[in-house]
Copies of this chain bind each other. A is one copy, B any other.
Amino acid sequence: MGIVVQKYGGSSVADATSIKRVAQRIVETKKAGNDVVVVVSAMGDTTDELIDLANQVSPLPPGRELDMLLTAGERISMALLAMAIGNLGQEARSFTGSQAGVITDSIHGKAKIIDVTPGRLQSAIDDGAIVIVAGFQGVSQTTKDITTLGRGGSDTTAVALAAALNADVCEIYTDVDGIFTADPRIVPKAQRIPALSYEETLEMAANGAKILHLRCVEYARRNSMPIHVRSSFSNKTGTWVVAAEDVHKYSEEGQPMEQAIISGVAHDRSEAKITIVGVPDKVGNAAAILRALGDALINVDMIVQNVSAAATGRTDISFTLPGSDGQTAMTALARLKDSVGFEQLLYNDAVGKVSIVGAGMRSAPGITATFFEALANVGINIDMISTSEIRISVVVAEDQVDAAVNAAHDAFELGSDEVEAVVYGGTGR
């Protein structure tokens, strides 16, 4: 009998009615002959409400205590879900991240899973029980304090448990039918993608596609764990995220799937851009800047350095980063002003990033030209550019993001003839 891991986000368990609906689906999976392990997020807006409470008592809550507070959210949803399943005649047992053996490092608020010891879960499975696990949380290996994995952490919990329990599949339930060629709220003709490689999904996730968390996909790739992204509101097949060599197996309507040149268009409005003006062109300055950002635990995304002006011996360095890290980064950089000797710091959060992603672009020339022409045709100015083997990203003005996504989607003919996507609700974590 195979193990299926299912993850339900906050919108899938937002209230008692939703919890009962999800319980029904879980029981059906169990009755179909599977052992079921469920990972669940906090109900609806619980996390935001708890953060709001924290801010009422302290402007800067300590990470340890904030993690202690936020983990109450999954504790509530998982216990309620176990009760609802019990009420359908199946035994369910809930476990906190710590009880489930989710061992992490000690970085509160964005801890990394370093080991999973699912002994108690396996015992419960062996007893025939449905297992419910709190997503998003773990316990520090060194301090034994409770940690959280950061936004999207529940997806990572699900894949980590699936790998540790040697599950057949990790199903990530959400409020749309899978991963789309673009955000259907921006591009109404966006199509569901039947299958994506881990690498393409990583690029999509890293560049703003909200459907899967980056670390979750990395974890799945490292462990070759198939992910099935699907809707908790329907029984349709969603999007399979699998190894590149397996993508062709997930064709639909009997057609062998051809490798798409471009699989999808991702966008991200959450980034900000910092420009460090007038950096003396001296060995070690760029390194000092990136070291300061690294020490502040800031993930720099795109980074561009202008050619040094011969007359002044100075250059400008621009980079993008998550907007939520903006203030921390500006503070860290301001401390370097004297030692590095730059002239000025500029901050701009009215930027957006648009990316095209596709494994087929490796063997197709002219992709960049097509993309940039499409943007030029609708009058969009490109601010920064970065590329990987299977992705091209541009930074544009925030108010031009929608137009850029549509232009790219059209240029690569990703749309279907009819509107397919249905967005059912909010988004979980």
Q: A residues within 8 Å of B by Cβ?
A: 16, 19-20, 23, 50, 53-54, 56-62, 64-66, 68-69, 71-73, 75-76, 78-84, 86-87, 92-94, 99, 120, 144
Contacts and interface: CB of A to CB of B under 8 A. Distances in A.
B79 A58 contact: no
Contact of A83 (B62, B79, B144): B62
Given A99-B144, A144-B120, A65 B79 contact: yes
A65 B94 contact: yes
A57 B99 contact: no
B83 A61 contact: yes
A62 B120 CA distance: 19
A58 B78 contact: no
A24 to B, nearest CB: 12
A261 to B, nearest CB: 48
Contact of A75 (B53, B68, B92): B68
Counting from the closest, the 7 A-B pairs by CB-CB distance are A69-B79, A16-B56, A58-B83, A68-B79, A57-B84, A58-B87, A72-B75
A87 B16 contact: no
Number of copies: 2
A283 B83 CA distance: 44
Nearest to A98: B98
A20 B80 CA distance: 31
Given A53-B80, A65-B94, 6 more contacts: A20-B57, A57-B84, A59-B87, A61-B86, A72-B72, A72-B76
Contacts of A20: 57
Contacts of A144: 99, 120
Contacts of A73: 72
Contacts of A99: 144
A58 B76 contact: no
Nearest to A50: B76
B62 A86 contact: yes
Contact of A87 (B57, B68, B79, B84): B57
A424 B75 CA distance: 32
B58 A84 contact: yes
A134 to B, nearest CB: 10
User: Which of A20, A58, A60 has the most chain B CB within a 10 Å cutoff?
Assistant: A58
A69 B46 CA distance: 14
Contacts of A83: 54, 57-58, 61-62, 65-66, 69
Given A53-B16, A64-B93, A80-B53, A58 B86 contact: yes
A86 B58 CA distance: 8
Contacts of A53: 16, 76, 80
Contacts of A66: 79, 83
11 contacts: A20-B57, A57-B81, A57-B83, A57-B84, A58-B87, A65-B83, A65-B92, A68-B78, A69-B76, A72-B73, A72-B76
A54 B82 contact: no
Nearest to A93: B64
Nearest to A52: B16
* Most B C-beta atoms less than 10 A away, residue of A60, A65, A72: A65
B62 A82 contact: yes
